[in-house]
Chain A
């Protein structure tokens, strides 16, 4: 295997593993604001107990997020040095801004969130919670902006600089608000809220099934359901807007997502299928004209197909098709689950509907899988480009690093991450089994 493929596998592995955690930090951050605001407003110790319990889970996911996140920032330099030289002028600014505006805020106030209970008044503690959640969201903004610039580059020009040709900024705001950044950001954030909401639902459902901490579980369930309904429905809306931007700026990606080959013909929307890339055919169940209708509002209008794209510029089709369709399927299932849960909650029978509670226990995996598949679709669908239409992935890799070195680091990352994952699950399970602490019902805030 060559250094390019190995570096891609390593980046995929490390970002995929990392991205198990940030959605939980982002989403739990938002949910903690709700829980602690309820406590500050009502003074009900139950909400305080909830906040303290979920802060502990937050602390664990945050630690894993930090540990695996620093790897990502270094990896542009270690494995993608040619890319870094080429785009540093544009892309580096977004990463630096993420550090200054997001990471400092998040990690600074995390100290108060975790350890400031007896040093702050309830209001000041809530303020810290809000700052941590804001930091997590800011970090999503800058990293999605950076990634979106790679998808739909804007606000730059190519220049022959002292040591070679590179991209330089011409318009900072055009870089930040490049055509895909806002829709992709909203879709990413809602995906993160879903991940956290379904974690809350899973733990609450587990307690209800075991008939433990029932008051705690019911109250958490209510908040979890509300966020899950909002986030899963919102994901559908923002997912649709994202697809429209893809249709306009990355036609090859859209064609791969739907396995659409004819250069210019009306396109259907597959519910499921299988792409035969060799024979350029897609078999499956499709709604005729539906993709044309979604893109153009007219079922008879043509959609650009892969035949119109030179073969060296096409992404791998079937993997993108399958990842995309699985993501959409999971998204729909999560909407159904959230709405059904909400309905039974409203009727007051959810706590007795054991089969649904069991589904909710395992549904925590749904948004995580959908988030991973969504990123897979976005990033693999951009291939063979690292910066769409500007730089190819194969040209971007570090010249000073051999395949053997990357293989070494890849094997080590795999082993270490496997161990971390096992430990994370073990400790998460332990915290969940342990449950909310009775002590946390007693007020330990500093009263001013």
Chain B
């Protein structure tokens, strides 16, 4: 399996929002799996930490939840992105890009900013 990084809180929220945008309504397990897969199994999501994060997002009004039935006929709680969530995703994605860009410039040798 190799070295795997832990996910930190702020980025986890962003990943959740992005996942829901990409896949539409999804249950907690699905979100966790998807994040792991997308990272190419580089990230180890402690599945449990996901639930308080989901609750926080729901309290902030970015996602909403509803009990539904899964593909194999199992009862599961489905989360879906709200309109506020979409905006928040855009905002956070932009901020994240900015941060990474700054860091990239900072770290890449020979290309020091004036």
A and B: interacting chains: no
Which chain B residues have a beta carbon within 8 Å of chain A's beta carbons? none
Which chain A residues have a beta carbon within 8 Å of chain B's beta carbons? none
